Structure 1
Amino acid sequence: MYRKILITTDGSAVSSKTACAGVAFAAQMQAEVLVLFVAQEYQYPIYVEIVPPSYPSEDDYRAAMLQAGEEHTRTVVQACQQHSLPCRAMTAFAEHTALKIVEVAEQQQCDLIFMGSHGRSGWGQLLLGSVTNKVLSHTRIPVLVHRLIKEPDSK
């Protein structure tokens, strides 16, 4: 039914558990997986006139976020390999995470977005997480929202 599934991750324990569930779902469909980590755009300090020497450069920040993206997506890629599923990992930069998820899903011709009901901002929210809610309201691509019954250990 689904041929290409976008699975999102933000590196949190909740998101990692959700991504593993997404791989299991993709395995049932024998679908290709695109795993996506969205990093925030580089922000210049607005509170000073001169950038402090300890503040990372834009290049250093991008390199660190690309490394973080690789680390956050690694377990999903490995899970796909265990299921013999084609998989590609991607790190994108954006001010608005939800809009970037929708944009990537459309550009990469995904026919399903698989994401958690909550991510980093997590369990303090009563309903859906803000990113999930925004993705649902901005895309025409089907979205499967995975909800964990309890918060995973952060080990």
Structure 2
Amino acid sequence: MAHKKILVALDGSKSSYKALDQAIYLARQNQGTITGVFVIPLFSVNVAKPASKLGKTLAEGGKKILDEAKSRCAKNGVLFYQKILCGNEGFKLVHFAKSNQSDLIVMGSRGQSNAREFVLGSVSHYVTQKSQIPVLIIK
């Protein structure tokens, strides 16, 4: 199966950038595109106009991460789209991937969270369990 529309979950962690590198490789092989998604794990943040200082900081951080991803994709000749979402990370990733008609979700095994699960990060675990779209987890 050719993966033409690849969604990459980005949070600034080393494993999310490794996932981006793998997605770039796959996109180049299949003349595909990448959509980078950064999820702000707060329900009360309005991405367009964050009211709180924390909301602004998180939105700005997400924009920097997505800009870095866009630059990496451009250097490799891959078309990159970006999206910042707010809410439960796993749920938002699965829902966005489905509504965006993605062919593949690529994500790191662990993110930025301080809470560690034994084998797999909580967001990547949720996505692998709930997604009907194939998921590639990068360690």
Same topology, TM > 0.5 = yes
SS at 1:26's partner residue?
helix
Q: How far did residue 123 of structure 1 move?
A: 9.8
Give the aligned partner of residue 72 of structure 2. Answer: 79
**5+ residue gaps, structure 2:** 45-49
List per-residue Cα deviations over 1:12-68 (Å, max 9, x = no partner). Answer: 22322322222222222221110000002256xxxxxxxxxxxxxx51343332211
TM-score by length of 2: 0.84
Q: CA RMSD in A?
A: 2.3
Give the aligned partner of residue 91 of structure 2. Answer: 99
Residue of 115, 120, 126 corresponding to 2:112: 120
Aligned length: 134
SS at 2:86's partner residue?
strand
Give the aligned partner of residue 62 of structure 2. Answer: 69
Give the aligned partner of residue 40 of structure 1. Answer: 41
Which protein shows a greater Rg? 1
Give the aligned partner of residue 100 of structure 2. Answer: 108
SS at 1:36's partner residue?
strand
Equivalent-residue separation in structure 1 for 2:70 and 2:126 (angstroms): 26
List per-residue Cα deviations over 1:122-149 (Å, max 9, x = no partner). Answer: 79543111111100111100101112xx
Equivalent-residue separation in structure 1 for 2:102 and 2:55 (angstroms): 26
Q: Is the 8 A contact 2:18 2:138 kept in 1?
A: no
State the one-letter code of the partner of 1:9: L
State the one-letter code of the partner of 2:121: G
**5+ residue gaps, structure 1:** 44-57, 148-155
Q: 1:123 to 1:93 in 2, by over 3 A?
A: closer
